[in-house]
């Protein structure tokens, strides 16, 4: 079947888990790559710059020697500095895949939407930390916000053709991570290696730890609120260890629609690039026959970050931004071996208590809250 050509692609976070899989999709669908960006000038970025020879290549924090290597090899195709993320995101007529990790992705999301581009959003921190600001940018610039996360992609697919008034609940599934069924005491003894060993998804380190604490699911609840304009009371989380049902929607007549597939991010990434059309892919479809799918309630007590996420989301304004910044600091401290696994939740809860609440109107407001929360959380993880 003939499809209209897809927009040229700007891939932010090209060397990460999402970025790599996006480039796989671009290769398989023959999508033009207009720009690639990462933090460092790694060997991987170098190889990509050679492969995608028409693309602008950006690095936000290269070393001096990386700068020299890239400049010598690629001359004016190369750009450096943190401001290049929003600049590349504003490329006219592009689809911007934001696969940067952390709050650094917010300005790029805002710039893409203000330029009227399609934003294929993986960087969940954009919506978690800056939901109200991203929403304003979307309205102002007329850009299109398409989620890449498998859960939100599933919701988008289930909601297609349905009226807002027909929706009763959005049901987010969660694998439960490697520590599903563990008690609070068992969680206190978890090692970095155990936490990084996700049972069903292969992802970058921060999101893997966030999946193990269920912080990631709390972020997704907040994202769902902003993406689909629903109240927190209408968003439910259910544990589904097989990660086959990516999420579901319950309608007012009691009918439930779910989206199923093997856990492979290339599927939601491709859908975000081809939406609303579908294009063939070589991914293995899920086989229903012989499969057993199970669902259970989350353990709110052993995984307190899930409840804290709802609380911060309902509070609105700066609450989710504080949650995100505190979690980023706490997860890094855990990965560095400075705090235990169970302390991550305590650092986030204490930071939420200590940083005063305010409304968020601009990227500058988000940055100010983010910086304050990071400072508070950094003190909390510092050795006394
Ligand atoms: N992985 C998944 O399956 C998955 C699923 C759903 C949502 N997400 C979300 O997608 C985002 C990316 O996750 P990931 O797992 O792909 O992370 P990752 O593997 O750690 O990759 C992060 C990418 O972002 C780049 N980067 C980091 N900081 C940057 C900065 N300040 N400026 C420019 N580039 C920067 C990194 O460049 P360097 O390599 O040079 O450091 C790398 O290319 C996160 O928000 C995550 O929550 C991921």
d(CA 121, CA 381) in angstroms, rounded, equals 30
Does the CB atom of residue 177 touch ligand 1 within 6 A?
Answer: no
According to the model, what pLDDT value does residue 202 have? 79
Report the separation in Å between the CA atom of 380 and the middle of ligand 1, taken as the mean of its atom positions: 25
Give me the residues paired with residue 248 across strands. 171, 258
Q: Which residue has its alpha carbon closest to ligand 1 atom 32?
A: 39
Contact 275/210 with Cβ under 8 angstroms?
no
Please report the atom of ligand 1 found closest to the CA of residue 210: 47
Report the separation in Å between the CA atom of 288 and the middle of ligand 1, taken as the mean of its atom positions: 32
d(CA 35, CA 158) in angstroms, rounded, equals 32
Ligand 1 pocket mutation pick from 10, 11, 12, 17 by most atoms within 8 angstroms of CB: 17
Question: Residue ranges of the domains in the chain?
Answer: 9-148, 152-315
What is the side-by-side order of every strand in the sheet holding 78-80? 78-80, 56-59, 33-38, 9-12, 95-98, 118-121, 144-147
According to the model, what pLDDT value does residue 364 have? 96
According to the model, what pLDDT value does residue 176 have? 93
Residue listed under structure tokens 């990631």: 216
* Cα 374 versus chain centre, distance: 19
Please report the atom of ligand 1 found closest to the CA of residue 59: 33
Phi and psi angles of residue 183, each rounded to the nearest 5 degrees, phi first: -85, 170
Does the CB atom of residue 147 touch ligand 1 within 6 A?
Answer: no
Report the separation in Å between the CA atom of 202 and the middle of ligand 1, taken as the mean of its atom positions: 13
According to the model, what pLDDT value does residue 102 have? 83
What would the two tokens of residue 233 be? 């009371």
Does the CB atom of residue 19 touch ligand 1 within 6 A?
Answer: yes
According to the model, what pLDDT value does residue 198 have? 81
What would the two tokens of residue 227 be? 């993406």
Does the CB atom of residue 96 touch ligand 1 within 6 A?
Answer: no
What would the two tokens of residue 285 be? 């479809």
Q: Which superfamily does 9-148 belong to?
A: NAD(P)-binding Rossmann-like Domain (3.40.50.720)
Residue 149's nearest CA partner among 196, 203, 91 is: 203
According to the model, what pLDDT value does residue 4 have? 73
Does the CB atom of residue 86 touch ligand 1 within 6 A?
Answer: no
According to the model, what pLDDT value does residue 5 have? 84
pLDDT in 10s for each residue of the chain, 384 residues: 567 789 999 999 999 999 999 999 999 999 999 999 999 999 999 999 999 999 999 999 999 999 999 999 999 999 999 999 999 999 999 999 999 998 889 999 999 999 999 999 999 989 999 999 999 999 999 999 999 999 999 999 999 999 999 999 999 999 999 999 999 899 999 999 999 998 887 788 889 999 999 999 999 999 999 999 999 999 999 999 999 999 999 999 999 999 999 999 999 999 999 999 999 999 999 999 999 999 999 999 999 999 999 999 999 999 999 999 999 999 999 999 999 999 999 999 999 999 999 999 999 999 999 999 999 999 999 987
What is the side-by-side order of every strand in the sheet holding 256-260? 235-239, 167-174, 245-251, 256-260
C-beta atoms surrounding 7 within 10 Å: 18
């Amino acid at each position: 079947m003939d499809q209209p050509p897809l927009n040229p692609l700007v891939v932010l976070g090209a060397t990460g888990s999402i970025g790599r899989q996006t480039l796989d999709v671009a290769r398989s669908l023959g999508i033009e790559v207009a720009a690639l960006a990462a933090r460092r000038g790694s060997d991987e970025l170098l190889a990509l710059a050679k492969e995608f020879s028409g693309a602008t290549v950006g690095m936000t924090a290269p070393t001096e020697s990386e700068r020299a290597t890239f400049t010598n090899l690629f001359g004016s195709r190369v750009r450096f500095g943190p401001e290049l993320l929003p600049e590349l995101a504003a490329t006219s007529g592009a689809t911007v895949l934001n696969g940067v990790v952390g709050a650094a992705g917010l300005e790029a999301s805002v710039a893409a939407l203000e330029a009227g581009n399609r934003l294929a959003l993986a960087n969940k921190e954009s919506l978690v930390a800056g939901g109200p600001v991203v929403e304003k940018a979307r309205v102002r610039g007329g850009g299109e916000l398409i989620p890449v996360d498998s859960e939100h992609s599933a919701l988008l697919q289930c909601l297609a053709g349905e009226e807002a008034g027909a929706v009763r609940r959005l049901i987010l599934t969660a694998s439960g991570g490697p520590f599903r069924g563990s008690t609070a005491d068992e969680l206190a003894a978890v090692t970095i290696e155990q936490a990084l060993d996700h049972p069903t998804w292969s992802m970058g380190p921060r999101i893997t730890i966030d999946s193990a604490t269920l912080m990631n699911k709390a972020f997704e609840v907040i994202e769902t609120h902003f993406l689909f304009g629903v109240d927190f009371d209408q968003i439910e989380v259910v544990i589904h260890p097989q990660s086959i049902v990516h999420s579901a929607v319950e309608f007012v007549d009691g009918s439930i629609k779910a989206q199923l597939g093997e856990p492979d991010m290339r599927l939601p990434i491709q859908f975000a690039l081809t939406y609303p059309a579908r294009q063939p892919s070589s991914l293995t479809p899920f086989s229903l026959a012989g499969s057993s799918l199970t669902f259970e309630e989350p353990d709110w007590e052993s995984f307190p970050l899930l409840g804290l996420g709802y609380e911060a989301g309902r509070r609105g304004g700066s609450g989710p931004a504080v949650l995100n910044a505190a979690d980023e600091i706490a997860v890094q401290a855990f990965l560095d071996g400075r705090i235990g696994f169970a302390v991550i939740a305590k650092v986030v809860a204490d930071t939420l208590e200590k940083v005063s609440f305010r409304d968020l109107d601009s990227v500058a407001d988000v940055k100010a809250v983010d910086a304050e929360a990071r400072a508070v959380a950094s003190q909390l993880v510092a050795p006394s």
